[in-house]
Amino acid sequence: MTRLGLLVVLPLTLLLGVAAASDKHPPAKTDSRHPAAAPAPPPAHSAPPASRPVAALPAAIVTGCRLDAHPFRGLQVGFADYCRGHLGYAPGAPDCYTFADEVCTVFVPADAAWAETRRVLAAAVFPCPEAPEPPVCPRLTWR
C-alpha cells in the first residue's frame, strides 16, 4: 500500500476503532472520599432506549488511490506536468512547481455504490530543468 493510501485509510481505521472502543469502555471509578450518589430515577414519560444495530458497516471503504497531475500548456513545449513561478526562467533555480490531486476510489456499503473522492495536495517545488522551458504557472493555482 502506498504512503498516500495509508494517509487515507489510517484516519478511517482510527475513527472506526474509536467508535468500537466506546462500547467497551470500563465503568468510571468513584472517589472513595465522597459517598456515591444514588442514580436519579428515569422520568415517568421516558421512552425505552433505541435498539442498536448488531453489526455496523463502515461508512466507506477506500479501494485505491492515485495522483492526478494538473497539466499546463505552453506555446513552446505543449503540455507539461509542471510550471514555473516567475517570468524569468533560470534553469536549476527552485522555481518549478507541480500541482496534483489525490483521487481515491471508494465503495459505500450502505448504498452499494462506487464513488471517487478528490483531495487537492500542496504544490511541490523542485529545481527547474535545463530544457525545455516550462510554461508560467497561472495565477489561479496560487492560493
In this predicted structure, what is the pLDDT of residue 39? 55
In this predicted structure, what is the pLDDT of residue 105? 95
> pLDDT by residue (tens digit) across 69-105?
999 998 888 899 999 999 889 999 999 999 999 999 9
In this predicted structure, what is the pLDDT of residue 55? 55
Q: How far apart are CA 80 and CA 124, in angstroms?
A: 15
In this predicted structure, what is the pLDDT of residue 59? 85
In this predicted structure, what is the pLDDT of residue 111? 86
In this predicted structure, what is the pLDDT of residue 7? 45
User: Which residues contact residue 125 at a Cβ distance below 8 angstroms, ignoring those fewer than 6 apart?
Assistant: 94, 95, 96, 97
Q: How far apart are CA 112 and CA 57, in angstroms?
A: 11
Q: How far apart are CA 83 and CA 16, in angstroms?
A: 40
In this predicted structure, what is the pLDDT of residue 35? 53
Q: What is the 3-state secondary structure (H, E, C) of 55-98?
A: CCCCCCEEEEEEEEECCEEECCCEEECCEECCCCCCCCCCCEEE
DSSP state of 52: P
In this predicted structure, what is the pLDDT of residue 115? 93
Query: Which residue is it, cell 513561478?
Result: 85
In this predicted structure, what is the pLDDT of residue 127? 96
Counting as low any pLDDT under 50, the low residues of the chain are: 1, 3-22, 25, 34, 54
Q: How far apart are CA 103 and CA 96, in angstroms?
A: 23
Q: How far apart are CA 66 and CA 131, in angstroms?
A: 28
- Amino acid symbol at 89: Y
Instruction: Tell me, yes or no, if the pTM score tops 0.85.
Output: no
